[in-house]
């Protein structure tokens, strides 16, 4: 068995200065963890802060998006070689908000996957149904989307990605995490599909969507759940440390916090 993989995307939250305070508070709280892997995906403007504060630790950092081309006339976009140069290990693609707000398609997502892999980083591919429905209805939709996003990837590359199952209805303020049994059922179906596509070990599958401290332990105990992808609850470094330590003892005495109000109002 591999160690659980637990990470967070901050979305469009925390400035570079706020990120510096977040990392200073968070790193000591998880410095003793050896049986799980952690990562943080800050906004583009704070990736350099992650590099400075996490270098030398066991915590990886990365980005929330990437352009499929390595360079060119793409004003405002960020390429895979730029991210690799900043030491990014993970790059998120396919989130439901990117699909909703920017019209991203499985074809574009596939091109981004190839770019990330081309530069030696690990793609974090988000998939999930948009509306709550029984597993027998939702699962075929999720599997079809997964297949479409991976259609252009050679079999050896499929094993190099991480998949995050994120039902859109479980994301955002007021939402709650999907039941652990449902998550496990969908993720086992995803694992079967990926096993058929990958050569060697299939990708790890995380769950994301309103993951708080109470849900974290239940989800990690569910067979088929290889880790967690945390949103708004991770904007508080002490709270994310408690999620990262789910099932373990309490963290060391906390240091200074970020000092940012209205954390609960930020979305996943």
Please compute, for residue 78, the number of CA atoms within 13 A of its CA located in the half-sphere on the CB side: 18
How far is residue 113's CA from residue 197's CA, in Å, rounded to a whole number?
Answer: 15
> Which domain covers residue 31, as residue numbers?
5-265
Strand partners, 228: 6, 207
Q: Phi/psi at 171 (nearest 5 deg)?
A: -110, 135
Active site residue 95: yes
Per-residue pLDDT, 261: 46
Tokens of 103: 């019209």
- Secondary structure letter of residue 15 according to DSSP: -
- C-alpha closest to that of 210 among 106, 109, 132: 132
What is the biggest distance separating any 2 CA atoms in the chain, rounded to whole angstroms?
A: 50
Number of domains in the chain: 1
Q: What is the pLDDT of residue 253?
A: 67
Give Rg (Cα) of the chain.
Answer: 17
Nearest CA-CA partner of 266 in 25, 13, 63: 13
C-beta of residue 164 within 8 angstroms of C-beta of residue 124: yes
In CATH, what number is assigned to the domain containing residue 65? 3.20.20.70
Is the pTM here over 0.75, yes or no?
yes
pLDDT along the chain (268 residues), means of 10: 92 98 98 96 98 97 98 98 98 97 98 98 97 95 97 94 96 92 94 86 93 95 94 97 85 54 44
Residue 70 makes CB contacts below 8 A (sequence gap 6+) with: 79, 80, 81, 115, 118, 119
What pLDDT is recorded for position 46? 98
Tell me the C-alpha distance between 176 and 125, whole Å: 21
Distance, CA of 238 to CA of 180 (rounded, Å): 24
Residue of 67, 95, 104, 129 marked active site:
95
């Amino acid at each position: 068995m591999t160690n659980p993989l637990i990470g967070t995307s901050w979305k469009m939250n925390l400035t570079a200065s706020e990120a510096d305070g977040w990392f200073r508070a968070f790193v000591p709280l998880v410095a003793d963890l050896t049986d799980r892997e952690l990562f943080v995906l800050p906004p583009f403007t704070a990736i350099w802060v992650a590099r400075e504060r996490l270098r030398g630790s066991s915590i990886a950092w990365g980005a929330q998006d990437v352009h499929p081309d390595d360079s060119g006339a793409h004003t405002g976009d960020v390429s895979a070689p730029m991210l690799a140069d900043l030491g990014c290990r993970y790059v998120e693609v396919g989130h439901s908000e990117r699909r909703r707000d920017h019209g991203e398609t499985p074809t574009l997502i596939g091109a981004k996957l190839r770019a990330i892999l081309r530069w030696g980083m690990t793609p974090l591919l988000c998939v999930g149904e948009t509306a709550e429905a029984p597993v027998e209805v939702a699962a075929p939709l999720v599997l079809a989307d997964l297949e479409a996003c991976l259609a252009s990837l050679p079999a050896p590359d499929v094993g190099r990605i991480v998949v995050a199952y994120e039902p859109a209805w479980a994301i955002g303020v007021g939402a709650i995490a999907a039941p652990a049994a449902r998550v496990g059922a969908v993720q086992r179906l995803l694992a079967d599909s990926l096993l058929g596509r990958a050569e060697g070990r299939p990708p790890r599958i995380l769950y994301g969507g309103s993951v708080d401290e109470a849900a974290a332990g239940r989800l990690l105990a569910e067979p088929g759940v290889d880790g967690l992808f945390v949103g708004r609850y991770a904007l508080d470094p002490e709270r994310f440390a408690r999620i990262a330590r789910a099932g373990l003892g309490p963290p060391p005495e906390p240091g200074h916090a970020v000092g940012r109000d209205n954390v609960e109002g930020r979305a996943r």
